[in-house]
Amino acid sequence: MSGSHMEATVLDQIIVGVRADLAERKAVHSLADLEARIATRQAPLDVLTRLRTPGLSVISEVKRSSPSKGALATIEDPAALATRYELGGAHAISVLTEKHRFNGSLADLDAVRAAVQIPVLRKDFVVDDYQVWEARAHGADLVLLIVAALDDADLQRLHQLVLDLGMTPLVEVHTPDETRRAVDLGARLIGVNNRNLKTLDVDLAQFGRLVDLIDNDAVKVAESGILTPDDAALVHRQGADVVLVGEALVRHGDPTSAIRAMVEAAGTR
């Protein structure tokens, strides 16, 4: 997070929009509304057991746009795309729910949840307890928590709430300090984002630099910049148990075979 004399980072700007949208949704749906909806939901799926299977696991992303690349794909039918991902052997589906920069929504999450049997990740900029309740109400099994967006107290509280609601937190880091914070938190699923959220630059070598700071019991996810089967194989050799892939799949004519190719290229390490 930037200091008072620094220019606002991309992350800071995104969170301003996230908080405005959140206020609108809170005005429409109370926490009691969300709790009532959660009571009708099936229990969250066990994510970590699935991601610990031998070989490389893939979290495939439903992603229309990004701040760095703009529009990536129209994705008129998120459920159909998610079904193709599941067919290709994806272990989980990530759904962007942020509206302004990623053109996502909770409706996308609902559509994907109804279409697939595998775990679903709510990928957003979570800064408030309400968003965690909301994720569960819409059927998420995983919730992204971005260390760069949260102070220690918020990170700890939100991490515990995700666990209390039966979901799995995916704790995202992109610097050595953030990685230490995630490890100190006791996070069991840690994602190294090769994209710097403050500048949007991507460096695929970032995963390899940070992976040794993560304790061996945690499931390690490489995020961003994984565009080819060779990229997937590289981070797998470096210690990634999982890759999170969005752009390469939404732009690919055959995402089912693209996922299979990444899993096969990685082998079993």
- Which letter, b or e, does each residue of 19-37 get, where b requires 16 or more Cβ atoms within 10 Å of its Cβ? eebbeeeeeeeeeeebeeb
- Reported as a single tens digit per residue, the pLDDT across 41-58 is 999 999 999 999 889 999
Q: What is the mean pLDDT of residues 131-135?
A: 98
Q: Catalytic: 61? A: yes
Q: Catalytic: 63? A: yes
The reported pLDDT for the residue numbered 3 is 41
Given 61, 98, 178, 247, which residue is catalytic? 61
CA pair distance 59, 189, nearest whole angstrom: 13
Backbone angles phi, psi at 87, to 5 degrees: -65, -35
Given 172, 178, 194, 247, which residue is catalytic? 172
Mean pLDDT of the chain: 90
Given 60, 63, 98, 247, which residue is catalytic? 63
The reported pLDDT for the residue numbered 192 is 97
Given 65, 98, 123, 198, which residue is catalytic? 123
pTM comes to: 0.92
- Reported as a single tens digit per residue, the pLDDT across 191-241 is 999 988 778 888 999 999 999 999 889 999 999 999 999 999 999 999 999
Q: What is the mean pLDDT of residues 61-82?
A: 72
Q: Catalytic: 224? A: yes
Given 65, 66, 193, 196, which residue is catalytic? 193
For the cut 50, the answer to whether the pLDDT of residue 4 exceeds it is no
CA pair distance 148, 174, nearest whole angstrom: 8
> Mind listing the domains of the chain with CATH numbers?
10-266 (3.20.20.70)
